[in-house]
Amino acid sequence: MSNIGNYDKQVKNFTWEISEKELEYKKGDVINIGEYCSDRICRLGKGDKLALIWQGHSGDVKKYTFDRMRVLTNTIAQYLVDKEIKPGERVCLFMDKIPELYFGFLGILKMGGICQPLFSAFGGESLFTRLEDAETTAVLTQKKHLGKIRKIVQDLPHLKHIIVVDDEGRKPLREKECSFSMEKEKGIEHFDIYPATAETPSVLHYTSGTTGKPKGALHVHYSLVSQYMTAKYVLDFQEEDIYWCTADPGWVTGTSYGIIGPWSNGITQCVLDAGFRVESWYRFIRDHGITVWYSAPTAIRSLMKDGTAAAKKFNLSSLRHLCSVGEPLNSEAVIWSTKAYGLTFHDTFWQTETGSMMISNYPGMKIKPGSMGKPFPAVSATVVDLKTHEPIEKPGIVGLIAIKPGWPSMFRTYWNNEEVYKSKFINGWYICGDRASIDEEGYFWFVGRDDDVINTGGHLVGPFEVESALIEHEAIAESAVVGKPDPVNMEVVKAFITLNPGYEPTDMLELKIMNFIRKKLSPLAMPQEIEFMDKLPKTRSGKIMRRMLKAKEWGEEIGDTSTLEDE
């Protein structure tokens, strides 16, 4: 029996107060995420349970119980206090997926700092933009990334401390730099947790910058109420689960559901600090007996390239529940997962700004391949008219996804950008910036980002529909669709595709692809041109940057590329 049980019944009866009650939280109480994810779990008698199973790129494994995590996060928190870092100051985590990243996150929250996780593959300019905007006080990093920080530190007057977690005194350090060894530092058994309340700022997550300058979405400790319950219901955590979230905590998925969600539920989670390789991923699942797997469509499509045979080489019978996040999951990937694993990937929709899952497919609920699913119980979501922003009552009509404000994990502002923050709320709705429709049964169907939708001859074409049709062709690995200028129709559809191994770009293949999708799409949605590419431009979180492709076609400025994976 799944945690959520009957979805329709939950929609009628569920309130966020149920989550508060399970967390033993009452309005006005202290609510510190760091404490709830470690000390509280120990008080529940689970101190000896494994919290983290970590595996490095060389195959070495480290294991930590909840009690050990409690002491180590206390140790980090005390170290930051001893450095005279104050509550409310921004403390950046800039490191690979090592244990210090995960425990550092909780340690910063324990002492009242605002945690600012940044992806370790960022270049100097990307790092500088975010540290400058946040006026960051301290950075926790590794010696391998120290060079990037040294190049920009002179232009960051607010940056007082650069804490190197793996130096151990061997590398000559400069002004503002210091060594810290989590394992060798004297363990702090008791730490006076900062008495955060519901609206105390907790995490500053910068958006991936697919449009305009990256913006810092500020979250608060009360977000725990959403993240705890959505993890329990959507990821369906059971007491003995071994969980793997493949996202990096430099992105919101890696914190909301790679740290807060599992650990507030007292769940053992695995972390693989290594690059993507099909066999190493399957081996990781097999070796650690992973039961719940939360990954991204980009990774799933990469696994599809190797086919079901690669999956069949490994015993993956431990898996019982699969979920996807980051981009809409094409129907072909949903169908493929049932062939490869005997399980269906459940798509989930949410954003950096929402902090937790808003629309999802749930255990026990009918899956419609390609659909986003239905709103989480207690989340009021709809689609609104593109111009009036009034809710659309008729099924099948495309509009903007809109959510009624008030869910616990909603972001509270954009850092230093309150005006843009306020612009996201219209007619009493938070406007997500994504277009979708809702069918007769209440399922949401993604069309595209509002600025990605193609207007061809007055008809709107969603790139996701065309991309989904394209990747059903056996030769195509990934696809991205944009509008190309056209003197007659204003825009026409152009497709960029990458090919699976064993296929070469030829005129004959292009013709075969065109004939294939002609049977699946309306004439208006048919690509007028196909361009073969070695790889598609993506953010480091795996989202395809269609705007870069569109800018190329329209001769426009590309804009911010700070999150481009090959910057």
What pLDDT does residue 567 have?
45
Q: Is 237 helix (H, G, I), strand (E, B) or coil?
A: coil
Tokens at 309, concatenated: 């045979």
Helix (H) or strand (E) holding 235: none
Please calculate the CA angle 325-257-299 and round it to the nearest 5 degrees.
35
β pairing state of 454-456 and 61-65 = unpaired
Residue bearing tokens 């996701």: 464
Residue 326's pLDDT is what? Answer: 82
Bridging pattern class, strands 242-245 and 292-295: parallel
DSSP 293-321: EEE-HHHHHHHHHTHHHHHHTS--TT--E
CB atoms within 10 A of CB 455: 12
pLDDT value of residue 521 = 75
Q: What is the pLDDT of residue 321?
A: 98
Residue ranges of alpha helices (H) inside 265-414 are: 278-288, 297-305, 307-312, 331-341
* Element housing 425 (H / E): strand 425-426
- Chain centroid offset of residue 403 CA: 19
Pairing mode of beta strands 321-324, 345-349: parallel
Beta-ladder partners of 448: 435
pLDDT, position 445: 95
- Name all domains of the chain by residue range, CATH numbers in brackets: 7-424+434-438 (3.40.50.12780), 451-554 (3.30.300.30)
Going from the first residue of the chain to its last (567 residues), give the mean pLDDT of each consecutive group of 10, the final group possibly shorter: 94 97 97 98 98 96 98 98 98 97 98 96 84 97 94 96 86 86 94 98 81 83 98 98 96 96 98 93 98 92 88 96 89 93 96 96 95 97 95 95 98 96 97 94 88 69 81 92 81 92 93 88 82 88 81 72 55
Do 356 and 226 contact (CB within 8 A), yes or no?
yes
